[in-house]
Structure 1
Amino acid sequence: MKLLLWNCRGLGRSLTIHNLKGICKSYSPEVGFICETKNQSRQVEGKLRSCGFKEWFIVDPDGLSGGLAMAWRDGCTIQILQHGRFFIAASVLTASSNDPYGVLGVYLSSNDQHRMAQFAELTSVSQQFDGKIVLMGDFNAISNQLEKACGGAKSPSSIKTFNRFINDNSLIDIGIHGGDIISEIEDKLEKALQNEESYWKDKSRVKWLKSGDQNTTFFHQKFRNQTRRNRIWQLTGSDGEVATSNASIASVAESYFKDIFSSTCHENPEPLFTDFEPKVTAQMNRRLQRPVTMEEVKRATFSIHPQSAPGDDGMTAKFFQSLCNILSGDVFRAVKSFFSGGRILKDFNHTQIYLIPKISDAKDMTQTN
């Protein structure tokens, strides 16, 4: 009998489902037990169906924690005998076996006292089975310190309690095939989820909330709401024509600002300044004309909020701050070239026009910022 066990830490993400499908395709498990689904039955059912399972039994999570699912393919006859918040007990008969197995899928508490009570209940449940029984799941316990891959050491008392549970129920550790693959997948998932959250945090432009693995949906919704609220569907040009396409709306905005910032005075303005009293002293002028330093450029770069000031390519200040060690030389040379010779890269002088409506359903340039 091929069994799949996975603490998926949330069955709602597309990357998790993608990897689960890959595991099922590679190993063709007859029965799967998945813990920490963190999703209600209606969401979990669709995910299991997409992985090739035909039937299932689901225990809903308590809020956003826990959640269990036992699923099986065609050719398996399964009878759910008992279940609770932390376990599913079933009698399993597969096409390759003549006698039914007892299968007990568990997800135990990380609290030593709670886990001790759960061990006692599992002992009682397992004694109701006749014949062979398989206990599988996340016990949140180890039988010796060498099994601990990361984090602090487990207390000797918790190890002793787990070993007593194993001995009292005459259990044998048969090992896990594919454990390294699962660990590798989990590492990739963790990195992908961090990247996903970072992306949506940048897009949402939220500056007051720190990243956390439960915030991705919030950032995504914030971005969608912001985009919807700031959308301008049409603009009326100076000629009275209504622009509705992106290109024509952009043309109206460009013409509006060209008109504002273009001078209509063709006379020499110098005579107007003859009576102005100078405010910049010689000492101030020397300070203004001294060569710019690398430290000043870095200080200016890091004074910008990471999520602000995107350029033509959409990169915010965070891009330059994160890669300062690589880009600082090029940035400094470009800034120094401007201050010493008056030369500036053409792209630096491009202006991004981003219209933010002052009112809902803005239709005129005066109704935007």
Structure 2
Amino acid sequence: METKNKRVKLDHIRRSLNFLNSCYVDPIGTSGGLALWWMDGAILDVRSKSQNILRCIISSPAVKDDYGNGAQRNSLAHELELVLQREEMYLHQRSRVHWLNFGDRNSAFFHATIKQRHQRNQILQLKCEDGTLLSSESDINSHLFTYFSNLFSGGGSGEMDIALDVVHSVISLEMNALLIQEVVDEEIKTAIFQLGLLKAPRPDGFPGFFYHQHWDIVGPSLCAAVKSLRIKQGCPKLSHLFFANDALLFVKANRTECSKICKLLQIYGQATGQSVNFDKSGVQFSGNVSWSHRREVCGFLGIPQMQANARYLGLPSCWGRSKAEAYNFLCEKMLSKLQGWKAKLLSQASREVLIKSVAQALPTYAMACFLFPNKLCDKFSSYIRNFWWKGDPERRDIHWASWNKLCLSKRNGGLSFRDFRAFNCALFARQGWRLIEYPNSLCAKIIKGIYYPNSDFCHATRGVRLSWAWLSLLQGWNILNGGLRWQILNGKSVNFWDDQWIPSNPGFRVQSERPRGVVVQKVHEVMVSSRKLWNESQLRSLVSGVDCDAILFIPVYVTDKDDTLLWHYDSKGYYTVKLGYREAVKQAHLVSTIPSSSIVWSENEWLLKGRNDHLFNQCQVDPTGVIAKAKRDEAEFLATCPAATTPQIGASGTTSGGSSWVPPSRSN
């Protein structure tokens, strides 16, 4: 194998992997370096070696040339598999790749990742403030230590009274007592077990896996060390650290308000000892501020104006007419993940993991904030399709299955790839659900004041001159409304004829037409709350028998609590993106009929398994149980895809129209 490590480190790794023999070619500078390990069972004759290649002949006297000893051959094959697995595990740990696990023979990918990370993390030169260049490792370390020590050194008077005069107290005495109480062993154990298995929490090099496996041994001493943690002798015990490093301030573009902002920042810095990093700050103006006025304000504050392509918290701070161009950086980021030379080393199964864990997850945060144009969603899907079939996101090739089929669940014959349009709408349905569930939040109050001041989100109108944010929320409402219904408690908030409140009816509404002259408006008017019953005679005079039976099935509660909205498709009544995505896929008509070959396999999976167990594994198989499992899967499949038509499985386990399977005769 190729390596730039020295012999001492390689010998340590070799012994940990139980190899007994070795041959090395030492690296020269940043190039070359080879290592070869083998067991005692093999005979290795090194013919020649150079900086880039080792030529040798490997033989094993224990194995016959005619491969007649099957036991020895199987033992060597098993030993080889174990060695390859250990090598891949070792490379996976060193690569620090968290989205892909070992076990799928991606050693080449992990090794390439190690090399790339090693090159990327090197600091070859460091330019100081006076312009001098530092190249030696000791000079660079010394300069970094001095720089950050001065940056994070204490400052300010520490007088908090001036800063806290305008801050309202929200922490009660009970809450404060809970925050400053001593840390218990169970809390320490919970925090330790939340560490990543292969991440080193301390410079000792022990990963979280070590503490998880040997907690009974190291746990008591570790808890004692944490409880006695102090920054310095005589300091109070350290149990909590709070950080807040971002702030958005809104002011008018004039000297008076800017001077007030500067004074407030100065008071805060003197009280806390913290100072504002103006190099990472920026000023953004509205469109009606002239350029001369902008330069004047920026010069007074000492803060530069934000560029047009600047981003805040991962999103563009401003955009023009083209929303797709504003999010081109997401396309570039996705291409960098899929187009790297390392991705070509992945197996097909690992490509699927890369797509689902990395590529499809990249735009999730941005999708939760704004509705993406269809053009941008199609571009994302195109990158993923090309990468799946060819390994290159920008190279078109033959696609052997449609994208809609690949987006189906694996149970329905697809690969569970994500449809970005449906997922975008499902994320905005969650934002709409939060507006309903938390109407008193700051975000909900602002949106209500702008778009529906005299109504609520469920009855808000589209309006004119829509903003991008409001249009996005309306798209999410189309998904949310498909599963939103009322839970009847006192019945005073729900309109009997127009609202969605009957669980078993299509659309959760009353299907009967409203008779003329009917004065019933709210649901509580047809309830006998004192007896926890519905007024059946009144219901039958208002609606059809089907609607009446559906309403009578709803329990009546004797309570003064208001009716609540819930999500019908969740057992707890809460909206989730997972369930919303399923609803969005249904509305987009992505669940199509599965090919007949996939249907037959879905039905006969248990039959084939039972046949193989009986014929090849010599197992006792219960035919009745096998057929029952096959029929159960068939029923579940048809419930998922009602449009699909499948062959019927008969009592003998055969499909209608087909011949019975006859086992082949066994020959001695």
Q: How does the TM-score come out when normalised to structure 1?
A: 0.43
Give the number of the structure with larger relative contact order, counting CA–CA contacts within 8 Å between residues 6 or more apart. Answer: 1
Computing the radius of gyration over CA atoms, which structure comes out larger, 1 or 2?
A: 2
Q: How does the TM-score come out when normalised to structure 2?
A: 0.25
